[in-house]
Structure 1
């Protein structure tokens, strides 16, 4: 029996004895944890123990099958609704199959219009009410209020996670309506709108007729979760490793059940301008703010467009610091990351849009600085266009490239576009009078009238002289894009070098959080001549795998991995298509176990599967964020990977592919294991160990020992892993 089995045996015996006789009982956390995450509420359940199928959840919010949408997640993977049933009366979830021991379970339910919940704002209990979503024109919203109020003081309104100044809206308690002033921008279509009432202002329910009921006052909802003050508040066992050298790695397989404290409404939705006081958009509790790196408009770096499709990036030394990393981020119009380039503080860099290899389209670029503990500062995203066919004029509305049956034309310096297409793109309704050759467009009380061949147009009856008259081109009625867009409140810019017209009716809202930075481009699909990997590193590894194998990807997902995590995820997706059929794959993503983090699990384990699409879905959930000191808990994660390899019980060859940019903790003060113990374990269990890691320094001296533990292992330089190489 090897050393690791001996360490695990006492824990497994206790676990098995403790689980006897519990099959028919509902599992309920001793102290239910529920918190806000963007436009959802998350409720942590008890971990799986391999036998129980019935899990009970506690909430002070009223849930029904109608007023919300509820989903179950097992190890952060959304479960198939066919695999479980929800009893809203008893607040229990029954699974068809018991989750394996150590599985992390939580439910997520949506804050949809009409839903009501309890939430703390600045330490004060409030009742939140989700109002109808914005439609781009409405300024008055009905509040589905079922209470009488003793006061309307201190009510608050949030649109897309940003608090509306009290002077910019009014609440009418008699009609239960909220009206935005003209100073407040109209919420664009799909905007989330939340109204909050202090719980202390609620005195009782309304009767069906709207009059105050005679029933005694009801107790209003209270905040569903308050931020924990210490790790001991966690309702399920923490993954924090024990300091004893004989501790078993098994208990640490369970991710911490406290990925986040309850965020404030202002931080509930990712925003392009995170609060400097938090340093991180997605959480209301300060992590470790980048105090000397302002965020938003005050961010010290800048991106400046130059002639020749060139832009410069200036990053002063003020954006740097010990443990800080800065990047140039480029997203496509869908908000997916297409380029991420590491920057050196105190320098100015020049980039060519053509050399970045971006296809024709619109892109958002911004600068960001992160630290290991999750602090983040970012500049305001800027929109830019790439056009590899400058003779063809491109039109972008709200960042989206428009496609017209009749391409835009240049008429004496004026860009003309098909009238119906442009009007409808701007949200206007169009009427065409063939007898008078007149088009009439209306939107939000504004009427625009144009006539073919006439330079005189009318806006609400007021004549306006056009720089170019509407005209017929190949049977299409073409109108000047600048006049039409500005007539309906749009801002228009012309990029002559890229032959692009850019129109924005509303200020673009582009999130800069780590969660929002999903990669855009997938690697090439396998061809008929055989599968291949876009990653030279993983291609070399796959060449040595000639028979079905059981492979665990042990991946460092701390903040410093931000530059390479997308490369790793996309490369792994391609890699699994290049190994023999019958192989099993699992993922063990880890952070810093000895550093308690309210925001991110220190380990996320995704069980073995032969379903490659399922594995790729696992990978898409990974976010590089958080962490503590420079060294990470790689040895614990490797032992966890070895454990699940053993549990699988397969006769396939066993392999661990380890990915990190840092050294590992290898002293009993900060780790359960040493490097030598891990080498001995890999030898005993005959696990081939490959690594994508530093090839110099302390990390190299540690990891090369693991690679050499068995024949066949290889070490590849983490510096060769880059998002850019995916597009070469």
Structure 2
């Protein structure tokens, strides 16, 4: 265990805090957080984002014409065109939307209205007004298995959507591993629809009757393969959901399999440390993160940690292990998933 304790000195918490006039806007496309070279902004209740990053995240090509300040983006044979300061968004030569807030240039960056450009490429867009989280579900995602479902109101409007993206493994037991993840996704989708489907339809109809906007409910998640070699295939998944009054709730899960026989592995299958040693290590390592930035954690974070050591999750990395705690275990929801990685010879 000494090797892991020494390595924990380099543990890094995967969240940052930035101060804005309103909370920092987070944008997820198919479950993946998007990094922008300029933060998204809100103008007249519309979210604008840097054009290149959002179009690339949607899987489209984008071109900028300086002479007439026109943006052209193409995807799967469709072309959309926007012009700085012009309210019209054109798709395949036809007016698609008249935007309340057109594209504009701010701080030397070209910003476009996120919802308009995403929906022009047939994506679904969800907005969490409490957590300032935008979730985009694109019309397709290559190289992945997608478990999707939705609930529609009587007029055909999508009021709730669920999507989980699962990357394809190249291993001999890929289908066996994907079956485990797909079964989990289907169970999550059923639980989400059963719990919130009726509520979403009711709230949509109430908002429609009052003539006010409704933010669709959504659950978007994705797995990434953190290691795949002759020993292990490890998956680490994150998710974001919005359920009306709740903030953009985040979640996490993981699965690690033997590459030799496809069996799902527990941590004790991988390392020989006792449960007591592991718990002491987690107390020391997560405790170090709390001590580093105490203001970002609950005031009783260490006591909460001690009571929740049984829900510490793990995944295998290329050169070691990653450990994590679900959101709101030892820190507020806005802190996200508290995690760290350590080097360990497996």
| Structure with larger Rg | 1
Which of the pair is proportionally richer in strand?
2
Higher relative contact order by CA 8 Å / sep ≥ 6: 1 or 2? 2
The answer, yes or no, to whether TM exceeds 0.5 is no
Which of the pair is proportionally richer in helix?
2
Q: TM-score, normalised by structure 1?
A: 0.20
